[in-house]
Amino acid sequence: MIKQVCKGAVTVAAVVALSGCGGTGPDGVEPPESPSPAATSAASPGGVAATPGGSGGKADALLTGTWGTRTSLVVLRVRGRAVEMMGAHHCQGEVAKEGGLHVIRLTCDDGNTDRSVGRVYGLSADGMTVEWEGLGADSFERAR
């Protein structure tokens, strides 16, 4: 029980700390958005084609924000189409609508591929589930 509480506290602390990243500067002005990374591959092992811009391309505005898990200590930060994942691995990529679903494609700095392609399910203002190809699912909560 104490171990779960500690893991939850660490996750909350990480999400709170990271949710401040990229906010407004000392003068109250938000910095310009960095350019979106390029698509990482033409096709994924699971058969979902990575079409630059996807089918309609732009991800749902509801997805934008900072999201954290309680169990695997993963934080996702979504700004427009750009996605950054922090945790045991640091990864960057993009999200696009493909076949009616939001699909996240990431490339990790250290070459890890555990969470390279994920499909978003159950997206709401407070939570979502990302099903990662070959890994399983993570349940995310929006950072406040």
More confident residue, 7 or 71: 71
> Does some domain include residue 31?
no
Burial per residue of 77-113, b for 16 or more beta-carbon CB atoms within 10 angstroms, e otherwise: bbbbbbbbbbbebebbbbbbbbeebbbbbbbbeeeeb
> Does some domain include residue 29?
no
User: Which of 74, 66, 49, 72 is closest to 143 using CA atoms?
Assistant: 66
67 pLDDT higher than 90: yes
In this prediction, residue 59 carries a pLDDT of: 60
> Does some domain include residue 30?
no
Domain residue limits at 70: 2-23+39-142
Contact yes or no for 129/55 (Cβ under 8 A): no
Domain tally, the chain: 1
DSSP state of 125: S
> Does some domain include residue 16?
yes
HSE toward the beta carbon, residue 60, CA cutoff 13 A: 16
The secondary element (H helix, E strand) that includes residue 7 is helix 2-19
81-90 average pLDDT score: 96
7 pLDDT higher than 80: no
Contact yes or no for 94/86 (Cβ under 8 A): no
What average pLDDT does the chain have?
Answer: 72
CATH code of the domain in which 98 resides: 2.40.128
3-class DSSP assignment, residue 41: coil
> Does some domain include residue 28?
no
> Does some domain include residue 112?
yes
DSSP state of 43: B
Q: 67 has which bridge partners? A: 76, 142
Residue entry with tokens 């660490």: 10
> Does some domain include residue 34?
no
pLDDT tens-digit profile of 102-124? 999 999 999 999 999 999 999 99
DSSP state of 17: H
